[in-house]
Chains A and B, each alone.
Chain A
Amino acid sequence: MVVRLRLARFGARNRPLYNIVVAQARTARNSKPMEVIGTYDPIPKPAPDGEGKPFKDIQLDITRAKYWLGVGAQPSDPVWRLFAMFGLIEPQWKVVRIPAQQEDKALYEKVQKVKIIPDGGPKTTTTAKPTPTS
């Protein structure tokens, strides 16, 4: 049987909290694991200074995580993602960001489709016009 590094859901309804656990792959999600090595709180908290992005907290015992990876424990996808943030493993996949200029160009093209009608001009509208909201 494989030993996995995975998340175990705690918390209440609509308020999840996860333990990062080391467990046998076939055991139940919330059964007693071999070891609890961290926690993950997926609910974003607003930034303390009120500005910037909201934050999420991850706690991890890095030495234990390294050990379990070393002996061949298999991280699940979400745990892989979290471990990649700590720099323990290579991320499974990378987000390829469109460079800002390209993004701007895409937006520019999109905007070009929206025709702005000047005063009195007998212009036609294109299909890109927004539909009424009310």
Chain B
Amino acid sequence: MARTKIFALKRPYPRQSWNKHAVYNLYRYRQPGTANRTFYQQKFRAKQETRRFHGEYLTERKWNSMFRHTLRGVVSMDPAVMARDDGSSVVSGRGSGTDEPPRRLIGTQEPEDEELSGLRNPRIPFAQMTFAPLERRLDTAVYRALFASSVRQARMMCLHGKVMVNGIKVPHAGYMLNPGDMFSVDPLLVMSAIGEQGRSSFKKLSTQAKVDLQKAIEEGQSKTKSSTYLKASNKKVLAGNADAEVDTDTFTAAGVKPTEEATEGTESTEAASTKATKAETQPEEETSSGKKKFHLPSDWRTYLPKHPRWKIYDEWKPKRFMNLFAFVPRYLEVNHHICHAVYLRHPVARAGSAEVPNPFNHDTMQLAYNWYLRRR
């Protein structure tokens, strides 16, 4: 079974989460040292550290079956060069090419900075791709697309059947995405997962929603025949929307007389009926702004449109520390308007950069790769 306590402060392990403890642990994290250790110890330590970050909820056996020793890489080609040269110049001479190595100007030095030297002589960081097979997993992709604030949360979304792949519910966190697969999560769920905590934003209707509601009710009142609107107002649809609270200062439940017939068999609770009496005493109340107050019938819930604009749509705020992890890898194309994303291709390494996000340096990843390479 997967560990439940994963953010211990005493053992600062990097985890794929925006949890405050995880951030603090990542902040003070240092790469494992290699001094005075045997090669085996170095590899073992590197494997431990990297596995704590990548799929720590998976058993080693499961991960071992996913590991592939072949790592994907790409080389950027220049069509202009390819048009000029059919490649024969590379092997001309005595097989090593006639190109002379670039001469350095006298007096200049090789740049000390790692990044600069990388620019001059970029190498493909293949070892960083060790855990690339995990990126294909549905839960990881949901996290990478910024639809969840941790891989575990993404996993939970999958297992609860909230994630769709190509329009079909896939309740398997371990589903391996194929290039071209489109996955999606319900926007309300995403907004609460990666947004500021607190349910108040869910309960209140936004200004736009209030306008919608008013329009809908007016429409409902004007129409005597069946409308699509009333068709939609069946209980099932509304059940999910019913926990909305309406600001009492803007909305006033309109004239339901708290008679016995009214309260009997209707939804008006005691609170609603008191509100109603208040409204009845001042039926034509004017607000300070001079606008006529919008009166809401007691069965306003039945008038809610199918997708009401909750306050969260208009006033969404990111979760704390989200900006530290706000990046989308190149192998995904995400549309946050609709909370859909497409898995374009498998992640690859290219000169100077790899597409698998992790906090480990190349040495650590190389050791980890070597660990999993044994007996292969």
Asked if A111 meets B256 with Cβ closer than 8 Å, knowing A120-B280, A130-B235, A130-B299, the reply is no
A69-85 contacts to B (CB < 8 Å): none
Collect the chain B residues with CB atoms within 8 Å of residue A108's CB.
224-226
Collect the chain B residues with CB atoms within 8 Å of residue A118's CB.
221, 254-255
Q: How many A-B residue pairs have CB under 8 A?
A: 82
From B239, B243, B265, B295, contact of A120 by CB (8 A): B295
Contact B280–A129 (Cβ < 8 Å): no
* Residue of A with least CB distance to B240: A133
Collect the chain A residues with CB atoms within 8 Å of residue B256's CB.
117, 123, 125
Contact A117–B254 (Cβ < 8 Å): yes
Residues of A contacting B: mostly: loop
Interchain nearest-CB distance for A83 vs B (Å): 29
Collect the chain A residues with CB atoms within 8 Å of residue B220's CB.
116
**Does A63 interact with chain B (Cβ within 8 Å)?**
no
Contact A46–B266 (Cβ < 8 Å): no
Interchain nearest-CB distance for A116 vs B (Å): 5
Collect the chain B residues with CB atoms within 8 Å of residue A114's CB.
230, 302
**Does B211 interact with chain A (Cβ within 8 Å)?**
no
Contact A116–B297 (Cβ < 8 Å): yes
Q: What does the 1/0 interface line of B205-247 toward A look like (CB < 8 Å)?
A: 0000000000000001100111000110001001100110000
**Does B283 interact with chain A (Cβ within 8 Å)?**
yes
Contact B299–A133 (Cβ < 8 Å): no
Bound together, the chains give a CA A124 to CA B225 distance in angstroms of 21
**Does B298 interact with chain A (Cβ within 8 Å)?**
yes
Residues of B contacting A: mostly: loop
Q: Name the interface size band of chain B.
A: 35 or more
**Does B167 interact with chain A (Cβ within 8 Å)?**
yes
Q: Name the interface size band of chain A.
A: 20 to 34
Contact A133–B255 (Cβ < 8 Å): no
Collect the chain A residues with CB atoms within 8 Å of residue B279's CB.
120
**Does A92 interact with chain B (Cβ within 8 Å)?**
no
Contact B254–A130 (Cβ < 8 Å): no
* Residue of A with least CB distance to B241: A133
Besides A108-B224, A118-B255, 4 more A-B contacts (Cβ < 8 Å) are: A111-B225, A129-B266, A131-B267, A133-B235
Could you pull out 14 A-B pairs where Cβ atoms are within 8 angstroms?
A104-B226, A108-B224, A112-B224, A117-B298, A119-B255, A120-B255, A120-B279, A120-B295, A125-B261, A125-B262, A130-B235, A130-B301, A132-B301, A133-B235
Residues of B within 8 A of A (CB): 167-168, 220-221, 224-226, 230-231, 235, 238-239, 242-243, 254-257, 259, 261-262, 265-267, 269, 279-280, 283-284, 295, 297-299, 301-302
Identify the 7 closest CB pairs spanning chains A and B, nearest first: A132-B267, A120-B283, A107-B226, A133-B242, A134-B242, A120-B255, A122-B257
